[in-house]
Chain A
Amino acid sequence: MMTKEAFQIILAGSLVAIPCGLLGCFLILRKMAMVGDAISHAVLPGIVIAFLLSGNRDSLTMLLGAGLIGIFTTFLIEFFHRMGKLQTDAAIGVTFTWLFAIGVILIDQFADQVDLDQDCVLYGEIAYVSLEQWTTSDGTMMGPRTLYVAGTVLLLVIVFILMGYKELVVTTFDPVYASAIGISTALWHYLLMAAVSVTTVASFESVGAILVVALFIAPPATAYLLTENLKHMMVLTVVIGVLVSLTGYYLAVLLDGAIAGAMATMAGVFFLIVFLFVGVRKKRKVQKTLLTAPEVIPKHD
């Protein structure tokens, strides 16, 4: 029998894993997994600054700030790449480590003013989901606040994907063609990056800045091995996300460790199982595409 607390934790985990996974489908198909990784690190200073400015966990400011800093990160990476002629992977590495370092320093510096610490950065506070209740002005207890935040972001992400499905698909599959038929690849690129940033921030409190990457990448990668249909891939990603949350929780309880760490571990386990059973069998001649941002890369004939 599941306790109410366990249920709330698993629910929170799922609410975080689903939007991450859905956006992750597009990230990995765009070969932008590492840009996602970079953004998830880079939003840290934004979160701390938002904390300092608003003095509380005012989610709205934070989500807005995160969207901006995520776009800023992508912009910075592209700036170094284009203006400085720095190779993309190095541009990613330089940018996110710098921003993350700022974040950690700010946390240490303002430890007494910010309700954040390194542990939270690393593995979140999903175990304490039920401690912080959302109370309305007349004192009614509405349930854990995190659930509302994560739920709202999930909703936003679903709406975003439903509304922009066509454009996301075509700019992902064939950005050159998308531009040719008049769909702005840059616009959808930045919208996706903003969505990734917002989702990272919403997930941050629960699972920490780094493990959120596991949720962005592992479930979609697993689903990608299982199907060759994008819609099925997204459904599978959702299912795997929920399974990761469920099994991760019990693994953490069993071993007495961090839930977020256990979730990432389970995400890896699911991938491993699928990889061993179907991944290798479906190997094909694949042109290995280099790590490139999905810009319209001019190619000489």
Chain B
Amino acid sequence: MKNLIDFFSFTDSSTRYVVLGVLLLMSSSSVVGTFTFLKKKALVGDAVAHSVLPGVCLAFMLAGNKNPVWLITGAFITGWISLYLIDTISAKSKIKEDTAIGLILSVFFGVGILLLTIIQHSGNAEQSGLNSFLFGQAAALVGKDLYVFGGVALVLLTTITLFFKELSLLTFDEAFARSIGLPVRALELLLTTLTVLAVVVGIQAVGVVLMAAILITPAAAARFWTDDIKTMIALAAFFGAVSGLVGTYISYVYENMPTGPWIVMIISGIAFTSFFFAPKKGILHKLFRQIRIKNKMNQENILKLLYQLGEEGKDFFVSRSISDITTRRPFPMRRLIKGLRTLKRQGFLKEKQRQWTLTKEGKLKGQRIVKLHRLWELYLTEYLRIAPDHVHEDAETIEHILTPELEARLEQLLDYPSVDPHASEIPYNH
């Protein structure tokens, strides 16, 4: 607990810097990642991330120290070269883009590892810490480094704000952007540059290997909550920042806990939560919706059946037992009873001594389903040329989905017919 207070009270000035830095790094890379994600270039970002390693090492070899300006320059150069090569290889040969990405990613990383080991073996005292580029070391980010990387992050955020409109259009509809005279090439160049910079900044937090997570995962998580690009960007930045904060905290408090992987764990956790639990798009929501639809169909089928029985006996308000119902239509017993109870609770049915009777509202509802069923059957035979003996199955589903608007249009289209293809009367509610 003391750690928690220590960490978040910012009493320690270095912690304050770290927290601020991580927030900036993570949110800015997540924002750029949203654009690469929407442009379906997520894995290109992964390739750039791996490709900055040789740049960092070369810069160190040439400069002889870990001056962040040099390292950023080196990283920027090789990151750019990697993107150029991916484009060239997939444009100029029969090699496809995914192969080009994998090739550049692994080879550049290999060169980086070779250089890194050469540096390590050279015995340069300055070299300790270069390793942090591999898995990130946000917790150790201090002083001058922080200013430089934080500066780059601010530049990123400012640029995105300035060009927000153009960049969103570019990711959403490139052809349209071109047609209204936007400099698409220049904008793509800008986005590419931003991606490289985002990687350079982001690897401070999570390292080269896991950088893809920062470019992809916050954006993917945000996508489940919204369709609006502004909200999505804000959410991605927020998710990125939160995971950066928590990840850094964990490695601050516990020993032997690497920052980068923990940040990735947190952001993945957020993403999985979003995949499953987000309203509307989440997997669970979809499953629940299926169950709701099934229940609705079940209930409507019961009302429909009671209505039809009433239709035959010319009295809709006769009490019926469960076996009266099941002899007509083999409902699974559990579903039937569950449906009956719900309908009773909702006031569509009355029950007395296990005898079930439609209420007025229940009759109306059952009548509507029967009407929709028969209207749809008529529609299928008249407009789709489907034989009358084949339309029933379809109508069994469609009767549950037609909205009042569609119902009205269907009536109008068919000119308020009185009977369906099987000569059953179509009941209207006069």
Task: Answer whether A and B touch in the complex at a CB cut-off of 8 Å.
Answer: yes
A binding-site residues for B, Cβ under 8 Å: 28, 31-34, 36-37, 41, 80, 83-87, 89-90, 92-94, 96-98, 100-102, 104-105, 108-109, 111, 118, 122-123, 208, 210-211, 213-214, 216-218, 221, 224-225, 251-252, 255-258, 260-265, 267-268, 271, 275, 279-280, 282-284, 286, 288-291
11 pairs from A and B in contact (CB 8 Å cutoff): A80-B275, A86-B275, A90-B216, A92-B43, A94-B271, A96-B212, A105-B265, A122-B134, A225-B95, A252-B114, A261-B117
How long is the Cα–Cα vector from A100 to B111 in the complex, in angstroms? 21
CB pair B113–A32 under 8 Å, yes or no, is no
How long is the Cα–Cα vector from A97 to B99 in the complex, in angstroms? 19
Interface of chain A, main secondary structure:
helix
CB pair A257–B117 under 8 Å, yes or no, is yes
Does residue B370 face the partner (Cβ distance < 8 Å to A)?
no
From the candidates A92, A93, A211, A284, name the one contacting B110 in the complex (CB within 8 A): A211
CB contacts between A and B, total, < 8 Å = 227
From the candidates A93, A100, A211, A286, name the one contacting B109 in the complex (CB within 8 A): A211
How long is the Cα–Cα vector from A32 to B268 in the complex, in angstroms? 23
CB pair A104–B261 under 8 Å, yes or no, is yes
B binding-site residues for A, Cβ under 8 Å: 37, 40-43, 46, 50, 89-90, 92-99, 101-103, 105-118, 121-122, 131, 134-135, 209-210, 212-213, 215-217, 219-220, 223-224, 256-258, 260-262, 264-265, 268, 271, 275, 281, 283, 286
CB pair A255–B118 under 8 Å, yes or no, is yes
CB pair B89–A275 under 8 Å, yes or no, is yes
Query: Chain B residues near A224 (CB, 8 Å)?
Result: 94-95
CB distance from B37 to the nearest CB of A (A): 6
CB pair A258–B114 under 8 Å, yes or no, is yes
CB distance from A9 to the nearest CB of B (A): 15
CB pair A286–B94 under 8 Å, yes or no, is yes
From the candidates A93, A105, A123, A260, name the one contacting B43 in the complex (CB within 8 A): A93
Given contacts A89-B40, A118-B135, contact A213 B102 (CB under 8 A): yes
From the candidates B46, B94, B110, B281, name the one contacting A263 in the complex (CB within 8 A): B110
CB pair B256–A111 under 8 Å, yes or no, is yes
CB distance from B242 to the nearest CB of A (A): 16
Query: Chain A residues near B116 (CB, 8 Å)?
Result: 257-258, 261
How long is the Cα–Cα vector from A279 to B131 in the complex, in angstroms? 36
How long is the Cα–Cα vector from A170 to B345 in the complex, in angstroms? 59
CB pair B103–A221 under 8 Å, yes or no, is yes
Given contacts A85-B281, A225-B93, A288-B97, contact A118 B134 (CB under 8 A): yes
CB pair A87–B103 under 8 Å, yes or no, is no
| Beta-carbon nearest neighbor of A111 in chain B | B256
CB distance from A20 to the nearest CB of B (A): 11
CB pair B102–A284 under 8 Å, yes or no, is no
Given contacts A90-B37, A275-B93, A282-B93, contact A264 B106 (CB under 8 A): yes
Query: Chain B residues near A109 (CB, 8 Å)?
Result: 256-257
**Among all A-B residue pairs, the 5 with the closest Cβ atoms:** A264-B110, A268-B107, A261-B114, A261-B113, A97-B213
CB pair B92–A279 under 8 Å, yes or no, is yes
How long is the Cα–Cα vector from A92 to B92 in the complex, in angstroms? 26
| Beta-carbon nearest neighbor of A210 in chain B | B109
Query: Chain B residues near A118 (CB, 8 Å)?
Result: 131, 134-135
Query: Chain A residues near B264 (CB, 8 Å)?
Result: 97-98, 100-101
Query: Chain B residues near A260 (CB, 8 Å)?
Result: 110, 113
Query: Chain B residues near A214 (CB, 8 Å)?
Result: 103, 106-107, 109-110
From the candidates B93, B220, B261, name the one contacting A283 in the complex (CB within 8 A): B93
CB pair A93–B40 under 8 Å, yes or no, is no
CB distance from A119 to the nearest CB of B (A): 9
Query: Chain B residues near A218 (CB, 8 Å)?
Result: 103, 106-107
How long is the Cα–Cα vector from A282 to B89 in the complex, in angstroms? 12
Query: Chain A residues near B99 (CB, 8 Å)?
Result: 28, 31, 33, 217, 221
Query: Chain A residues near B281 (CB, 8 Å)?
Result: 84-85
